[in-house]
Chains A and B, each alone.
Chain A
C-alpha cells in the first residue's frame, strides 16, 4: 500500500519495488528527521522547480542522496560502526575503511543533510540553529557545514559517530570542531594532518617531504581507525577502493567532455548534485551515483547530438567554484541571469584535469598523498587558482564568477588574489563573489542577484561586440 511520500520518492527516481523494499527504513528515518505528510507538497514542488527532473539521471541522483540520508540516519540501528569526515576531504581513507568492512559506514553527514534536508525539504534552518546553539555561534564566520553536522547530532537526527576522521590538512575549523565533538560527545578523532606551505610559484612542484608527511598521517589515522573500529584494513584496500570508485571519476571526466558543448546540455544544479556526491559518500550513495551518472551522461550525449541545451547557443560561458549545497535557488542564479556554467572548480579538480603522480611510493597513505599533491586541491592557493586558468581555454570560457566562501578560511584565502591573477593571465572578466555555499540565510539568491545580473549584462555586451 502506498504512503504519503511515494510521490516524492518516484520523483527522485525510486522504482515502485524500491519504495516497497525501502519503506520501513524510509519511515524510521523520517521519524527521526521530523519529516511528515505536511512536507511533501513543498518538497515535490521544490524538486520540480529547481532540478531538471525530465532527465532520469537527475531523478536517480536525487534518489542516491535520499538513500545516503536513510543509511546515515539509521547507521546505528543497522549495527554499523560510524565514521564521519569533513568536506572537502581526501576521500581515500574513507574509501579504504569501506572496502575493508561492510559493517563500517563512512560519510560526510553535513553534506548529506544539506542535499536532502536543505535542497529537497527546505528544512535545514533549524538544524543550523541547533549547531549555532551548541558551540558554533553566528557572527563569527564559522563553517555552516559544521553547524549542520553539530546541529544534526544535537537534534538526534544523525547518530554520534564512533570515530571522526579530521581533515587537518586543509581546514583549521574542521579539526577544531572535531575537538568540539569530542568535548561534547567523547568521540575519538583520527587526525590526518598536512600543511599547505607552498611557496608562491611552486606549483606544480612540491617537496617530497609533504607527500611523506601527509602519507604517514593517513597511515597513522588508518591504524587508529583499525583500533577504534575493531577492523582490519586489508592490504589491497586502497586498490579495491580505487577500483570501486573509479567509474565515478571516469564519469566526471566524461561529463567534462559533454559540457564542452554549446549550448550546455545541463545546469549547474545537476552538476552540483553529482560532484558533491563524489566527495561526500563512500557507500551506497556513490554506487547509486555511478548508475545515475551513466544514465545521465547518456541522456546528455543525446541532447548534445540533437543540439539541445538548457541555455540558448552562444550564451556567455563562465566557471564557478561550486553550486550551493543546500539552496538550489542560489545555484540557479547564474543560469537565471543568462550565463551558461559548463564547469565548476570541483568538477575540474575531480574529473577535468588528468592526475599524473610522479613518484614511486610504497604505502597507501603516500600513494593517496601524492595524488592529492599533484591534483592541487590541497597543495595551496596558487594551485587552486591555476586550475581556473587552465579551464579558460579548455571550456572556451567568457569569464569567471570567482566565489569565495566567507566562512571557509582555506577558500577565503583566494578572495582577492584570484580575481587579479585570472584577469591578468586570461584577460577574461572576473566577478569576485562573496558567498556562503552551504547556508543561504545571509547570502540569499536575492542578495546576490544584482551582482550576478550586472556581470551577465557586461559579458553579453562584451561578447556582442
Chain B
C-alpha cells in the first residue's frame, strides 16, 4: 500500500480509533485552524490534537446562516455550520475546543462556540497582529495559559521532559514536510501539489507517529518514482488565506490544465513547517518564538510586507512562472493586498498573478476554469 493509500485507510478508521482512545481516558482537543496552537502542548499531556480543517460544502454554509451573517469568510462560516449542525463528526468527538483568535473572522467563530454551545468547554487566546517583543510576550502568556488549561483539564502535568519529547516528535513531522516540499525545487517534479496538500490535511487529523511513518514512506516512494511533471509544465506558486480539506477546486482545474503547484503558502490549511522549535531552555518561550515570531506571518498581520517579501523569495527559489492568489470572499486582509501586490510581484520577480475568489459555490467552477486556462496560456506564452 502506498503512503497516500495508507493515510486514507488510517483516516477511515480514525474516528473509531479516537472513540477507543476516549474510552481509555485520553482527552481529544479540537482546535481552530491557523497554525498558532502548538500541538506539542496537547501531546505532552497525553491528549490528542485535532484541527478543524474541513470546508468547501456549500450546504454547510447555508446551515451557518442561522447563527452568523453572510459577510464572513466562508471557511469560518463553515466552522460555525459544522459546530452547530454536527455534520463534521470531528466536532462531535472533541472534549475541549481551543480557539487561537487571529482576526475578526476567527472571532465570529469563537463567539459562536461561546454563545451557541455553552455546554462545550472552550478556551481562547489571542494572537497579536504585529511582531515585536511585547507581542511575543503576549503570545507566550497565551500559550502559557493554554498549558495550564490543558493540565487542569487532563489532570496530567506537562513536564519539561514530556514537552521536549513532543517537540522532537513535531519537529520530525515538520522536517519531513520540509523535505517533501524541497523536492519540488527540482526541474522535473515528482510530488504533486494535491498530494502534498492531502498530506497536510491528513496530518491535522492523524495520529502523529503514524503520520510521521507515512511521510517517511511518501519520501521514499517519491524518490523512487519517475517525475510526474516535465520540466516544461508551468510552475505555480499557490497562495491565499485558507485551503480547506474539501476545497480542491482550484488545484483540480490547475492540474487538468497541465500546471504544477511547486509551493503553497496558506495561513490556514497548510501546517507551518519551515521552522523547527529549539529544545533548549524555557520550552514555552521556544514554542512562542517558533509559532509566532519565526513563522512567516499571515495576511492579517500589520504590515503584511514580511509575507509579501517571502512570496517573492519563494517565487524565485522555486522558479515559479506565475502566482495564483486564492482568497475566500470577505477576507478583507487578503482582498486589499491582492490589489497592490501584483505590481510589486511583476516588478521584483517578473511574473504575473491571477486572483481567484471563492465562496464554496459550485457555480464558480466554470468562470474559474476559464480564468485559469487563460492564465496558463499567458504563462506558456
Chain A positions within 8 Å of B, measured between CB atoms, are 135-137, 140-143, 166, 168, 171-173, 175-180, 182-184, 189, 191, 193, 195-201, 209, 212-213, 216-217, 220, 380-382, 404, 406-407, 409-410, 412-413, 415-417, 420-421, 434
Chain B neighbourhood of A200, CB < 8 A: 110-111, 113-115, 118, 122
A217 touches B134 (CB 8 A): yes
Looking at the assembled complex, report how far the CB atom of B127 sits from the nearest CB atom of chain A, in whole angstroms. 7
Residue of B nearest to A415 (CB): B69
Chain B positions within 8 Å of A, measured between CB atoms, are 66-72, 101, 103-105, 107-108, 110-115, 118, 122-130, 132, 134-135, 137-138, 141-142, 299-300, 302-304, 329-330, 332-333, 335-337, 339-340, 344
A406 touches B71 (CB 8 A): yes
Question: What CA separation (Å) do A173 and B330 show in the bound complex?
Answer: 10
Chain A neighbourhood of B335, CB < 8 A: 140, 142
- The CB with the most chain A CB atoms within 10 A, among B101, B335, B336, is that of B336
Looking at the assembled complex, report how far the CB atom of A425 sits from the nearest CB atom of chain B, in whole angstroms. 12
B336 touches A404 (CB 8 A): no
B332 touches A179 (CB 8 A): no
B339 touches A179 (CB 8 A): no
Chain B neighbourhood of A176, CB < 8 A: 299-300, 302, 304, 332-333, 336-337
B134 touches A216 (CB 8 A): yes
Given A195-B101, A220-B134, 13 more pairs with CB closer than 8 A: A135-B340, A140-B329, A172-B300, A176-B333, A189-B302, A193-B128, A199-B123, A201-B114, A213-B137, A380-B107, A409-B104, A415-B68, A417-B111
B67 touches A193 (CB 8 A): no
Looking at the assembled complex, report how far the CB atom of A8 sits from the nearest CB atom of chain B, in whole angstroms. 37
Residue of B nearest to A140 (CB): B335
Rank and list the top 10 A-B pairs by shortest CB-CB distance, nearest first. A200-B114, A197-B126, A195-B126, A415-B69, A409-B104, A183-B340, A135-B339, A175-B302, A216-B134, A176-B336
Chain A neighbourhood of B72, CB < 8 A: 409, 412
Residue of B nearest to A197 (CB): B126
Chain B neighbourhood of A434, CB < 8 A: 69
Question: What CA separation (Å) do A389 and B107 show in the bound complex?
Answer: 21
Q: How many A-B residue pairs have CB under 8 A?
A: 152
Residue of A nearest to B305 (CB): A179
Looking at the assembled complex, report how far the CB atom of B201 sits from the nearest CB atom of chain A, in whole angstroms. 26
Chain A neighbourhood of B108, CB < 8 A: 409, 412-413
Looking at the assembled complex, report how far the CB atom of A87 sits from the nearest CB atom of chain B, in whole angstroms. 16
Chain A neighbourhood of B302, CB < 8 A: 166, 168, 175-176, 178-179, 189, 191, 193
Looking at the assembled complex, report how far the CB atom of A377 sits from the nearest CB atom of chain B, in whole angstroms. 14
Question: What CA separation (Å) do A141 and B330 show in the bound complex?
Answer: 6
Question: What CA separation (Å) do A409 and B111 show in the bound complex?
Answer: 13
Chain B neighbourhood of A380, CB < 8 A: 107
Question: What CA separation (Å) do A407 and B332 show in the bound complex?
Answer: 10
Question: What CA separation (Å) do A355 and B138 show in the bound complex?
Answer: 25
Chain A neighbourhood of B339, CB < 8 A: 135-137, 180
Question: What CA separation (Å) do A201 and B123 show in the bound complex?
Answer: 12
Chain B neighbourhood of A195, CB < 8 A: 101, 126-129, 138
A193 touches B124 (CB 8 A): no
B138 touches A213 (CB 8 A): yes
Chain A neighbourhood of B107, CB < 8 A: 196-197, 380-381, 410, 413
Question: What CA separation (Å) do A177 and B304 show in the bound complex?
Answer: 11
A189 touches B329 (CB 8 A): no
